[in-house]
Structure 1
């Protein structure tokens, strides 16, 4: 079972509003779920005026979640916070994600979502060297999903939480682009050279 991903469109905004209003998403994704709020938060990615890319994640053709990616260097505040805790390169990207449909929770699908999307990132962004994700310490389901997807914890430290009720302690996880050995004995990054 693999996830498929397609870019978010404005036709998805009612779905995003519903997902962002569910208690399990709203706990960590603090957003204005009005039409205007969702437009303000996600319209720029649809229009290409925001450097992030947003995707709807589907299983067997059914939309069940959301995931976005960007280069950390495109967001100065996030870059400064992460760079205080771990190395961040210009080629480092980050992802943020959730499963929106309550009936898919508790089945180990978050780690599959993350792993499948990481594989897509390596294909889509040939110069991406690594994916770094900071997760609040109070969200163990998220950081355990990262671990099951192959990320390793590289730092812990204080960052501003998305939800003001959370403590500032975050764990930082990194996944480095896989390297494959070719027939000549040299190493090349997986997903490049095609």
Structure 2
């Protein structure tokens, strides 16, 4: 079973190590200095911004990072998505990474996404759906979304996280279960 907890400043060295891993750096494109990690994750750790950064644990060991937020809290991202697909007022989004390369290809990403969705439905009773844009050249990520039950609902151009990438993205969605 996957366990979750909010990122704290004590986790910043771990995040810096993960962000420096080639398989993460390729898609996240973050600076990894202590100051940069504090700048990028500190406000969330202190609950000063609306997104949530969570560590995923498997067997008590941290295996990944999940960011979740309501899309309406980030109008620039909402502006990118709205031309491609309908975005309900209480739509959420996620971003995620598997920290260590040894954990890639073991189904942990899919398990993490499934568990994250369960947590979203439990923690955010007003969340209508989860919409995720992923770069078209990142099949590991979009296949994990598909295996976790999300459906590709659109494709189009969105500003990439990494400036070496073009703007091609796939958009995935899952709605709150009705049962």
TM-score (norm 2): 0.98
In the alignment of these two chains, the number of paired residues is 179
**Does the 8 A contact of 1:13 with 1:38 survive in 2?**
yes
Shift of 1:90: 1.8
C-alpha distance in structure 2 between counterparts of 1:163 and 1:20, whole Å: 13
Tell me which residue corresponds to 2:58.
Answer: 59
Tell me which residue corresponds to 1:25.
Answer: 24
C-alpha distance in structure 2 between counterparts of 1:49 and 1:139, whole Å: 31
Q: Which has the larger radius of gyration?
A: 1
Question: Following superposition, which runs of at least 4 residues in structure 1 exceed 3 angstroms of deviation?
Answer: none
Superposition CA RMSD, Å: 0.6
C-alpha distance in structure 2 between counterparts of 1:103 and 1:158, whole Å: 32
C-alpha distance in structure 2 between counterparts of 1:16 and 1:96, whole Å: 14
Unaligned runs of 5+ in 1: 181-194
TM-score (norm 1): 0.91
C-alpha distance in structure 2 between counterparts of 1:40 and 1:70, whole Å: 18
C-alpha distance in structure 1 between counterparts of 2:169 and 2:32, whole Å: 25
C-alpha distance in structure 1 between counterparts of 2:145 and 2:106, whole Å: 15
Shift of 1:101: 1.4
**Does the 8 A contact of 1:92 with 1:132 survive in 2?**
yes
C-alpha distance in structure 1 between counterparts of 2:38 and 2:137, whole Å: 28
Tell me which residue corresponds to 2:154.
Answer: 155
Shift of 1:48: 1.3
